[in-house]
Structure 1
Amino acid sequence: MGLTIYLGSKLGEWLDVKFNNTDQLYYKIVSLIAVFIAIASVIYQVLQLTNKDSDD
């Protein structure tokens, strides 16, 4: 989860530098998307574990 958010923030920083954006807009947007992806991934994994346990 942390790695996903970290890589998203680094990608946003890189996009801000590449497109000369001083408002850090890409950083904010990509970081927020990375947080949602990380949370969705954790929820998916928990559901998989829960379904696996209920099959036993």
Structure 2
Amino acid sequence: MKDKKENKKRMNNYVRFSSVAIQMGIVITIAALGGDYLDEKQENDFPIWTLVLTLIAIFGSLYQVIRAVIKMSKENDDSKR
């Protein structure tokens, strides 16, 4: 019974982080495409908008991952008590 619960919790963690990874990819791609669009619209020689928006998306995504890991860690600590 305990092994079943543990396996289910482990699978939930895999699903949670798989969805976070997919979401990261989508957000970063949208930011890069949006930056490319703005750079073309402004006829920039250097792709400043692409760079800025992509970096913001990367840092935002990393923040989200760190927050999810901390939350999962707290949930695991609470369940062990």
TM-score relative to the length of structure 1? 0.88
Identity of aligned residues (%): 29
Indicate the residue corresponding to 1:32 in structure 2. Answer: 55
Q: Which has the higher contact order (CA 8 A, sep 6+)?
A: 1
Q: Which has the larger radius of gyration?
A: 2
CA–CA distance in structure 2, aligned partners of residues 10 and 22 of structure 1: 16
Number of aligned pairs? Answer: 56
Higher share of residues assigned helix: 2
Deviating above 3 A after TM superposition, structure 1's stretches of 4 or more consecutive aligned residues are none
- The unaligned stretches of length 5 or more in structure 2 are 1-23
Q: 2:41 aligns with which of 18, 34, 39?
A: 18
Indicate the residue corresponding to 2:73 in structure 1. Answer: 50
> RMSD of the TM alignment (CA)?
1.0
- The unaligned stretches of length 5 or more in structure 1 are none
